[in-house]
Amino acid sequence: MDRQGELNIIRAAYAKQILAAAWGVDNSRLEAAFSATRREDFLGAGPWWIFRRLRDYVTTPDADPVYLYTDDLVGILPERHLNNGQPSLHAHLIHQAAPAAGEHVVHIGTGTGYYTAILAHLVGPSGRVTGIEYDSELAARAKANFAACPNVEILEGDGALVSFDEADVIYVNAGCTRPAESWLDRLADGGRLILPMTSDQGFGANAPERMARAGAVFRIARRGKDYLAHWISPVAIFPCAGSRDEVSERALAEAFAKGGWQQVTRLYRDQEIPEQRCWVRGPGWSLAYS
Ligand SMILES: C[S@@+](CC[C@H](N)C(=O)[O-])C[C@H]1O[C@@H](n2cnc3c(N)ncnc32)[C@H](O)[C@@H]1O
């Protein structure tokens, strides 16, 4: 068997392990997407920087892609602690987003595109993915990686400000203190927004900007004018440029300190919710218990 054949087998085993590690996700389409997508195609030439929590980054012994098929974060710009995210976390979050064939997915914080490619696999040739990346170097790398893919478009800019068509899924991969108005406006009826919310308290407190913030991921499902919200995962993730404001930052830190995010059921586009029903409120938005 040639090396590509061996790597195909390794990737199939990795896909199974990743889904098993992702809270036991049972999703054969997602497993097939992880099995078919070559992580090495998105991370530049090896050796690569694998993030080890207690030792910072460790370089792989050589450029054999086998080292990428573990449940580890891999540095994309390690000097800024900007990583290709943990596969099992993304498997869980993408499972919750449930992109279906033919749908339009908007991926905010595309990086170099590994998870954009998984999303493109899931929506298939009849669907499409719009990837938005703030960092110009990473946006250029992502554009090059998808140059031959007609159903993926990469845009450079702030995902809260760049205009995009109505989306069935908005998959945000950076930590926000509030939902952007444009995400709520452009989420289709029946659409799903995956929103990591992080404060700069927690383990990232007083740390330099490069440090990830600890937080919670919410799945927001649009039903007409209503937004149903529920907590789906803890998270530590790179901050979202432009989707953080000081008032929301303080409110979120207080809400995390008091607990109760697992009981959230609704997102409202105002802050007039009675105190006893409110988990957190910021300017023009709140997350509430009913
Ligand atoms: C944790 S990294 C994840 C990258 C990619 N999803 C991956 O796992 O390989 C977060 C990414 O979000 C990008 N980002 C931060 N704020 C953004 C914004 N407002 N709009 C678009 N991208 C943003 C960062 O530049 C970075 O590439």
Collapsed DSSP state (helix, strand, coil) of residue 127: coil
Ligand 1 pocket by Cβ (under 6 Å): 76, 82-85, 108-111, 114-115, 132-135, 138, 158-160, 173-174, 237-238, 240-243
* Position in ligand 1 atom list of the atom nearest CA 76: 9
Tell me what the mean pLDDT of segment 156-172 comes to: 98
CB distance 197 to 177 below 8 Å: yes
pLDDT in the model for residue 244:
84
- Nearest Cα neighbor of 86 from 198, 165, 173 is 173
Tell me what the mean pLDDT of segment 129-154 comes to: 98
For atom 24 of ligand 1, the residue with the nearest CA is 109
pLDDT in the model for residue 40:
98
Distance 163 CA to ligand 1 centre (A): 17
Residue 51 has pLDDT above 80, yes or no: yes
Residue 110 has pLDDT above 70, yes or no: yes
pLDDT in the model for residue 242:
83
Distance 273 CA to ligand 1 centre (A): 32
Give pLDDT tens digits for 6-26.
999 999 999 999 999 998 999
pLDDT in the model for residue 203:
37
Distance 206 CA to ligand 1 centre (A): 21
Residue 186 has pLDDT above 60, yes or no: yes
